[in-house]
Structure 1
Amino acid sequence: MANQQQTSPGKTKPFSFFEWMVARRYLGATRTGKGVSLITRIAFGGIMLAVAALISVMSIMQGFRLTLLDQLLGVNGHAHVQAEQPISDYDSMAKALGITPGVREATPLIELPVFVSATGETGMVVRGVRREDLLKNNYVTGKEHVVDGSFENFGVGDKGGKEIALGSRIASQLGVRAGDPVTLISGQGPETAFGRTLRRKTYIVGAIFHVGNAEYDAIYGFMPLEQAQLFFGFADTVQQIEVMVDEPEKIKSYRDALMAVGPGLRVTDWQQRFQSYFNALQIERFAMRLVLFLIIIVATLNIVTGLIMLVKDKTGDIAVLRTMGATQGSVLRIFLISGTMIGTLGTLAGIFLGSMFVLNIDPIENGLSALFQTDLFPAEVYYLDGVPAKLEISEVILITGFSLFMSFLSTLYPAWRAARLDPVEALRYE
């Protein structure tokens, strides 16, 4: 007798073992079948796939943004300081910029387009830099980025020597390797009565580098600063000074300090140069998050359908529980537990599936490319060698919270409907 009182529905505490047990049994089978009901599987699968898709897409977009930003700033620098005329005292100005609070490096630079020919022909942008400054740039001179030759003799010799470095795609278009000669052609020749003449000079390819960004590998080449001054007619001046700072995201806060180094200086930062590009990425990321959140909302609506069908299927059982003493609150909690169990388990499965996809995205991409015999991520289109992905805990927490909230919200109406069921009316037709 005491045991009956202990397990009586009317005597149970909120969210007791009895309510959890009934909720689990209701999800487990239909009136006539065994195992998990079809509608429960559909709701579970919908939430799992929606959460996994959202985690995967947002991780890829964030990885794409961070990788591209890292490469852009690794090769280009964070800000460029220029004057009205070419800078003659560039060594002292670079030192003054270098000791500015927050500035990591200041590099004298000449950057101009040229036409280059060998076996093939193409255009590129030549960056004239000092040997010691270029060797600090791991994106160009790092061991994993040098695919042919070396930078051992870059900037060594009379007036910086004759060696230059080319991006891997430029070298491929020209059909050259390290040690081969290439001819640079520039329109920055001497001024004559008929206009500027072309300037031609032959150099030796000392190194071929591979940044991993298709655009940079197909555009940029490097030559010693002294040779750039000779070739472009800058004498003992430079075009600009490239600045690297400790916090690139806060580059705007450095502008005043950089311009205060000398009179008539102007600063162009990376956010100005690539503003439209990164704004487009940010808008695309926001739009994609919104669309995928809507997918989660649609997926959680399967819980509403499932619970409404479950309430109809269990009408007699609900009536019996009520006649045994179960309160409306107890019935409400039973169906709340049922719905949130689907949402919680689906969300956890989606987190696992999405995380595994992101962490193993390169093998998956390689396998699919081999299966379909096509490159699913061409570098010419996306500018990167592989699919970048960055799994962020904050993003996962946001997605998890939203999915659980929508799952809980979706259970309210069916649970309220079950709790409002009149046991007399329900048993009349049983």
Structure 2
Amino acid sequence: MFRPLELFIGLRYTRAKRRNHFISFISLVSMAGIALGVTALIVVISVMNGFDNELRTRILGMVSHATISSVDGSMSDWSGAQKKAEANPHVLGAAPFIEREGMLQAERVSGAIVRGVLPDQEPKVSEVHHKMKAGKLEDLVAGGYGIVLGRELSYKLGVDVGDQVVVYAPEIRATPVGAVPRLKRFTVVGIFEIGMEEYDAGLAIVHLADAQRLYQTDGPDGLRLKLDDLFKAFSVARSLSQELGNFYRVRDWMQGHANFFKAIAMEKRVMFMILSLIVAVAAFNLVSTLVMLVQDKQADIAILRTLGASPRSIMGVFMVQGVVVGVIGIALGTFFGVLLATNLEAIVKYIEKTFEISVLPSDVYYISDLPSDMHWDDVGLIALLGFVFSLLATLYPAWRAARTQPAAALRYE
């Protein structure tokens, strides 16, 4: 069976037992280093993807994918805009809301965002009804002046379900005794926990009708939308803006949280570059391995040259050997990296149970699990990067082998 000479000799050198066991040891170290670097890179990037996905899910579980608001302020005729928005094939749901600042007072005082919603429509655009730790979102009744608090906010105020909270609106009304702030007493009917301090410590939810009375508005501030694909938010927002006309303003989630997710993406890229250096260092260990191998095979190289092998063929022989070592290391690293990345959460839970430790304590971290989200395109990119590093590492030793002079190499043989 015909095989290129370079491939045949290179594979033969790889399979053969070398006289110099130190060269074999360094080859194994290089192979193990590449495998370890690729494994670490796959696992770390998968964890970064997992945290990105977890944060995105938690934030967008409370933040609408897009919002429609009136240019003039309150949206009195919100039902018409809701029908037009829900007619868009990418809109899964739309619900009215009021969102204003307020000050809450019980045993202690704390500022918060007060959001007025319709309990029967809110599940169409948010996940808060799945995050209730006490009570239900349906306990908010128009005229009942109930309020649902984030867990951290309830701790700040020192209240629980059934307690009273006074909500102050940042507006002043004139009375015979002077100017006084607008306020209303609410009863805590539920507590939720999202896992993000921004919402757990700074959000209070009331019924839309009660929010209208407190803030003296004619209607909701706008509509919150949930889309089938959050990355289409910009195009859907632009389409709805043109359809609804100049009386409405449409804003997508990227405008409010773009910097946050850009920071996560930047951190992922930086981690990728830093960990790529581990793969690079391991791959370039091949340089020392192949340099010593070239020195050990001087006589063989000289004989091949005298038999008519070109410098390019000699260069190809040692490039094949270096690439084979690199490919084996990449294959092992990819296998163990994928295995770890896909089973990381189970492995962490086993370690926590066995050694009775907590890797991410829930009382310290909002994300107490170690999420992992492996993407095959990341795995392919990492494997390709390792292959390129291995290929580059073979160039100098192979070039030195190609420059070997047969007469000088065979002089003392």
> Which range, TM-score by smaller chain?
0.7 to 0.9
**Counterpart for residue 336 of structure 2:** 353
Matched, 1:252 2:239: no
Matched, 1:77 2:64: yes
**Counterpart for residue 104 of structure 1:** 92
Write out aligned runs for 1:49-68 (5 A): 49-68=36-55
The percent of aligned pairs where both chains have the same amino acid is 33
**Counterpart for residue 151 of structure 1:** 137
* SS at structure 1 position matched to 2:21: coil
Query: How far did residue 94 of structure 1 move?
Result: 2.0
Q: Deviations over 1:375-394 (max 9, x none)?
A: 6577867x534333321111
Write out aligned runs for 1:225-264 (5 A): 225-234=208-217, 236-259=218-241, 260-264=243-247
* SS at structure 1 position matched to 2:62: helix
Matched, 1:344 2:344: no
Match of 1:180 among 140, 160, 163: 163
**Counterpart for residue 211 of structure 1:** 194
Matched pairs, number: 410
Write out aligned runs for 1:4-23 (5 A): 13-14=4-5, 19-23=10-14
Write out aligned runs for 1:191-202 (5 A): 191=174, 197-202=180-185
**Counterpart for residue 276 of structure 1:** 259
Deviates more, 1:122-131 or 1:383-392: 383-392
Query: How far did residue 396 of structure 1 move?
Result: 0.9
Residues of 2 paired with 1:246 and 1:308: CA distance? Answer: 57
**Counterpart for residue 29 of structure 2:** 42
Q: Which runs of 4+ in 1 moved over 6 A?
A: 323-327, 368-374, 377-381
Write out aligned runs for 1:359-378 (5 A): 359-363=342-346, 367=351, 376=360
Query: How far did residue 233 of structure 1 move?
Result: 1.9
Cα–Cα, structure 1 residues 380 and 128, in superposed 2: closer, same or farther, change >3 Å? farther
Query: How far did residue 79 of structure 1 move?
Result: 1.8
Q: Is the 8 A contact 2:125 2:225 kept in 1?
A: no
Cα–Cα, structure 1 residues 12 and 419, in superposed 2: closer, same or farther, change >3 Å? farther
Corresponding letter in the other structure for 1:390: D
* SS at structure 2 position matched to 1:188: strand
Q: Is the 8 A contact 1:94 1:107 kept in 2?
A: yes
**Counterpart for residue 3 of structure 1:** none
CA RMSD of aligned residues (A): 3.3
Give 5+ residue unaligned stretches, structure 2: none
Q: Deviations over 1:102-146 (max 9, x none)?
A: 32222111112222233444322221110112233562112xx22
Residues of 2 paired with 1:427 and 1:15: CA distance? Answer: 21
Provide TM-score, normalisation by structure 1: 0.82
* SS at structure 2 position matched to 1:65: helix
* SS at structure 1 position matched to 2:171: coil
Q: Deviations over 1:68-93 (max 9, x none)?
A: 22322221112222222211112222
Q: Is the 8 A contact 1:81 1:268 kept in 2?
A: yes
Cα–Cα, structure 1 residues 316 and 165, in superposed 2: closer, same or farther, change >3 Å? same
Corresponding letter in the other structure for 1:107: A
Provide TM-score, normalisation by structure 2: 0.85
